[in-house]
Structure 1
Amino acid sequence: MMSSDEAADSCCASCGIAECDSTKLKKCTACYLVRYCSVKCQREHRPQHKKACKKRAAELHDEKLFRQPESSHFGDCPICLIPLSLDRSRRNMLNCCSNIVCDGCSYANDLRQLEERLESTCPFCRQSTSDTNEEAELRQMKRVQVNDPVAIREFGLARYYEQDYTHAFENLTKAVELGDVTAHFTLSSMYRAGQGVAENKKKEIYHLEQASIGGHFKARHNLGVEEFQNGRIDRAVKHWIIAATTGDDASLDVIKRGYGQGFVGKEDYAAALRAHQAAVNETKSPQREAARVAEQNGEMSALDPWK
């Protein structure tokens, strides 16, 4: 025997017709609570369903928004498979294949090529490295032409930093359509500052949320600031804890100050500290430490004349 919930789920919420071979019911795509036999029935039932629909849709949205990502949006180095550092100086963007590799793998590759007197090649795809900026740009454009989201995003970012906001917006929007998280974050900044587009708070928050769901730690931190400024302290703290758990120093610093000021609990503070340290430790390796030491000692320039 079906439960009352199962019985309700097998009938149209508006007219009550049961599902059968000739009648297929579709769930409300906003809340997934009820089913309808037609668009007409869905529209007619909207007044009765609207309140419960909005409440459940908001709950589903928050479940997705506050889910802890497995890692930051950078993911793992494709060579050593260790999580990439959030520190920009500790990773390298490869224009030939649009991969991002850690400084440890880049350094190990440079050493190997020097010791074996090999031609300088990409540590991932093994293409010859670009000798000039012009050649690097040509390679990037080839990646753009095959709809590589990373290359399109990087091209858009280059236009953004040149303050060519029209072409920046065009390319970043295309990168977003292809699923790029960093493009979402940059578009949020453009909507906030009105750079090439009209200022739009709703779209700013939308792109911040999409970037956060994708693991962008700066977007998550900014969402926390936004919630805090609007008086939603609990939501702000949730965002900062998630960002700190991916290794974000700025969010951990806010949590520390929040603990001192009394709006972050002791357990949350302690858990954030442990999770932050664990995330940082996960990005360490002997190769990366060797690269850091070599950079401090000025040895990198001897390996790469372009550095």
Structure 2
Amino acid sequence: MSGVEESDDMMRCASCGIVAGVDDIKLMKCTACKLVRYCGVKCQKDHRPQHKQACKKRAAELRDEILFKQTESTHRGDCPICCLPLSIDPDKSTLMSCCCKLICDGCDCANVRREVREKLDRKCPFCRHPVPKSEEEFKRNILRRIKANDPVAIRQMGGYCNQEGDYDGAIEYFKKAAGLGDLGAHYELSVMYREGKGVEKDDKKAVHHLEQAAIGGVPFARHNLGIIENRDGRMDRATKHFIIAAKLGYDNSMKTVKEGFKGGLVSKEDFAAALRGHQAAIDATKSPQRDEAELARKL
């Protein structure tokens, strides 16, 4: 079908055939597939039996276009001090409860050295708020950020609830944070639905939240999707997930891609691209300050 014919079809109601613009009729797209238009809800319902299969197929294609698009960076973003990408290793950055900013260890250590040298009190390197002296004070800061509707703080409180066995509370906080766009909360929800904590076990919802996290650049969510696809025998899809996660710097995915290459499941070109992307992602997170912090941590 040509582009003109497709355009003509999109100007007509798929059910009754009325043309857009006639008697001020405005057509609405099928929200799932975007393939057809309707003049109203009744026509959409009447046409549903004929359209259902094509709609489902196209909706899945649109979802895959989003799902398998290579993200530019991970969900952790950049350090707000040095502006370099944060490592995907959570041990290499610190959450400041006062402002809920993730600060890389390099900037945190540089700030500590300056404060020691100048005999200053410990303060957040970003907002300069005094660093909490206890876990209780840390939580009070988090609660203040929750009042400001900070999704990171809300997810953090969900984590506390989860650790304490308050799964209902954890689900409430994770859902709110996910609704505000927090990708880590989507990942946490996938775990809750997979394990049935605070909710009934639901594999479809678990995968949905994994996908939302993966789309946003959470590499371990992407890796887990690859494991699921591999388990279900969809190796092409699994390989795509592993390659994308590897290019985000995720070591486990890189190892899996390497094993796939050895086993003939990954092409030489895809393996080389994954290897280059993996190294580039890691190199982008390096700096002399971070190397010094890493060395100090090992001593």
What is the TM-score of this pair, normalised by structure 1? 0.93
Q: How does 1:178-189 map to 2 (within 5 A)?
A: 178-189=180-191
Q: Distance in 2 between the 1:166 and 1:49 partners?
A: 39
Give 1:16's aligned amino acid.
Answer: G
Superposition misfits of 4+ residues, deviation over 4 angstroms: none
Gaps of 5+ in 1: 298-307
Q: Corresponding residue for 1:253? A: 255
Q: Corresponding residue for 2:4? A: 3
Q: Corresponding residue for 2:168? A: 166
- Give 3-state SS (helix, strand or coil) of 2:190's partner: helix
Q: Select between 160-169 and 121-130 the one with higher mean Cα deviation.
A: 160-169
Q: Select between 155-164 and 247-256 the one with higher mean Cα deviation.
A: 155-164
How many correspondences in the alignment? 296
Q: Corresponding residue for 2:157? A: 155
Q: Select between 257-266 and 69-78 the one with higher mean Cα deviation.
A: 257-266
Q: Corresponding residue for 1:302? A: none
TM-aligned CA deviation for residue 169 of structure 1: 1.1
Q: Distance in 2 between the 1:158 and 1:133 partners?
A: 11
TM-aligned CA deviation for residue 163 of structure 1: 2.2
| 1:91 correspondence with 2:93 | yes
- Give 3-state SS (helix, strand or coil) of 1:92's partner: strand
Q: Corresponding residue for 1:53? A: 55
**Alignment partner for residue 197 of structure 1, among 186, 196, 199?**
199
| 1:142 correspondence with 2:144 | yes
Q: Corresponding residue for 2:285? A: 283
Q: Deviations over 1:162-193 (max 9, x none)?
A: 22212111111111111111111111111111
Q: Distance in 1 between the 2:165 and 2:265 partners?
A: 39
Gaps of 5+ in 2: none
| 1:33 correspondence with 2:35 | yes
Give 2:287's aligned amino acid.
Answer: S
Q: Select between 240-249 and 2-11 the one with higher mean Cα deviation.
A: 2-11
Q: Distance in 2 between the 1:81 and 1:45 partners?
A: 52
TM-aligned CA deviation for residue 114 of structure 1: 1.7
- Give 3-state SS (helix, strand or coil) of 1:247's partner: coil
Q: Percent identity?
A: 53
Q: Corresponding residue for 1:12? A: 13
Q: Distance in 1 between the 2:114 and 2:15 partners?
A: 70
TM-aligned CA deviation for residue 3 of structure 1: 2.2
Q: Deviations over 1:149-172 (max 9, x none)?
A: 100100101111222212111111
TM-aligned CA deviation for residue 25 of structure 1: 0.8
Q: Distance in 2 between the 1:87 and 1:180 partners?
A: 18
- Give 3-state SS (helix, strand or coil) of 1:142's partner: helix
Q: Distance in 1 between the 2:138 and 2:204 partners?
A: 37
RMSD across aligned positions (CA): 1.3
TM-aligned CA deviation for residue 144 of structure 1: 1.2
TM-aligned CA deviation for residue 295 of structure 1: 2.1
TM-aligned CA deviation for residue 212 of structure 1: 0.6
Give 1:192's aligned amino acid.
Answer: R
Q: Corresponding residue for 1:305? A: none
Q: Distance in 1 between the 2:45 and 2:252 partners?
A: 47
Q: Distance in 1 between the 2:60 and 2:168 partners?
A: 34
TM-aligned CA deviation for residue 51 of structure 1: 1.9
TM-aligned CA deviation for residue 113 of structure 1: 1.5
Q: Corresponding residue for 1:294? A: 296
Q: Corresponding residue for 1:127? A: 129
Q: Distance in 1 between the 2:264 and 2:66 partners?
A: 28
Q: Corresponding residue for 1:235? A: 237
TM-aligned CA deviation for residue 290 of structure 1: 1.5
What is the TM-score of this pair, normalised by structure 2? 0.96
Q: Distance in 2 between the 1:51 and 1:133 partners?
A: 54
TM-aligned CA deviation for residue 211 of structure 1: 0.8
Q: Distance in 1 between the 2:40 and 2:136 partners?
A: 57
